[in-house]
Amino acid sequence: MPVLTPASEVILRHEDDFLNKRVLFAGDVQDLLPAELEAENVLVHTAWYHHCLALQGKMPAENVRYGLLAQADFVRQCDTLIYFWPKNKPEAQFQLFNVLSLLPLGADVFVVGENRSGVRSAEPMLAEYCPLTKIDSARRCGLYHGSLQNAPHFDLDSFWSGYQLDGLTIKTLPGVFSRDGLDTGSQLLLSTFEKPVSGAIADIGCGTGVLAAVLATRFPGLDLTLGDVHAPALAASQATLDSNHLTGNVVVSDVYSGLPGRFDMILSNPPFHDGMHTNLQAAENLIRGAQAHLRIGGQLRIVANAFLPYPALLDAVFGNHTVLAQTGRFKVYQAIHTVSRGKGKSGKGV
């Protein structure tokens, strides 16, 4: 996690306002500000598992909760909300309505975010419940403040949506990648599965679960594991499997942290953003750690924007790689684990 994001630096310009407050951090919290802020008490709710782990290493673990929804017993301990606006407006509405429905009336509400993320939308979004006033503008960020006057009604079912793909129902929630339909990268990745595959397959960064659902339908009998750090993605993946009467093990996992055993294939459409900022760390960890989680002869198959520097890393880790498909924008890479760890260099990919 970065030392402090621009949005956090704006919050610190007002740190005296929080000295005697019981503060809840929520939204796109990407740094260690909650562990550093001086307040009567500080709690954090996050939908991102890797952010949860980082914060639990710097503050009391029980003060940080990870999950799809904030819980009443946790939120009602607080009289102040500091909400970090994500890049996705529907996700912001989902999270804000959830938290504000649980906060006590009269609670102070601070909303902060980068201007390019659309944080200005907070004012009309919350006008009925918590009229906001812009109180600061710095580091290309805006900070808004208000008092909760009318708690919104939060209905999880109203936020579910979905689409149809090849006879499958793909379920999704706000903030989940490729929420409105199959993205072109995943479509290219699926096009490379012309020959039957079998065995244990891990879909890392599973999102809506669409990759696993399509493969499970095409090739019955697969042993599927779906992993992600994003709580809405895990909920969506499970709902996708359930809606199509498919089975798979859906696990919270920071790349490989929660994956059991070894696999015949690891596939992924890895992210290269963390919030508004480019971050290749997850994809690099995916490639560097793949051989430790593949059986001999197992393969890593990923799709990525063609400009990203993955070929050299694949060669360094596996000894070689193959481009299975490409367009002007995307490439699908395959690398095969041909030699046991610690027994020599990897052989050429197929």
Q: What is the CATH number of the domain that holds 211?
A: 3.40.50.150
Residues 144 and 174 placed together within one structural domain of the fold: no
Distance separating alpha carbons of residues 88 and 110, to the nearest angstrom = 18
Q: Which of 113, 148, 183 is the last residue of a domain?
A: 148
Residues 333 and 297 in one domain: yes
Instruction: Give domain status of residue 154, yes or no.
Output: no
179 and 137 housed in the same domain: no
Is the pTM of the predicted complex or chain greater than 0.75?
Answer: yes
Of 309, 206, 187, nearest to 266 by C-alpha is 206
For 279-321, what is each residue's pLDDT tens digit? Answer: 578 889 999 999 999 999 999 999 999 888 899 999 999 998 9
Looking at the domain assignment, is residue 347 inside a domain?
no
Say whether both 186 and 297 belong to one domain: yes
pLDDT at 349 over 80: no
pLDDT at 340: 54
In this structure, are 65 and 196 located in the same domain?
no
> Model confidence over 63-118: pLDDT tens digits?
999 999 999 999 999 999 999 999 999 999 999 999 999 999 999 999 999 999 99
Is 194 found in the same domain as 87? no
Contact call for residues 226 and 290 (beta carbons, < 8 A): no
Q: Are residues 323 and 209 in the same domain?
A: yes
CB 209 within 8 A of CB 225: no
The parent domain of residue 59 ranges over 6-148
Quote the tokens at residue 279: 């971050």
Is the domain of 269 the same as that of 188? yes
- The verdict on 43 and 166 lying in the same domain is no
- The verdict on residue 48 lying in a domain is yes
In a domain, 346, yes or no: no
Across the chain, the runs of DSSP E, i.e. the strands, are 22-27, 41-46, 64-66, 80-84, 108-114, 133-138, 141-147, 161-165, 168-172, 200-204, 223-228, 249-252, 263-268, 273-274, 277-278, 294-305, 322-326, 330-336
Among 96, 116, 148, identify where a domain stops.
148
| Residue 207: closest CA among 152, 123, 271 | 271
Q: Is residue 218 domain-shared with residue 166, that is, in the same domain?
A: yes
What is the number of domains present in the chain?
A: 2
* Residue 34 included in any domain: yes
Give pLDDT tens digits for 205-258: 999 999 999 999 999 999 999 999 999 999 999 999 999 999 999 999 999 999
Q: Quick: pLDDT tens for 13-34.
A: 999 999 999 999 999 999 999 9
Report if residue 311 sits inside a domain: yes
Final residue belonging to a domain, choices 114, 148, 182: 148
Q: For all residues of the chain together, what is the average pLDDT?
A: 93
Domain-embedded: residue 155: no
Specify if 343 maps to a domain. no
Whether residue 269 is found in the same domain as residue 330? yes
For residues 102 and 239, membership in a common domain is answered with no
Residue 179 banded pLDDT, cuts 50, 70, 90: confident
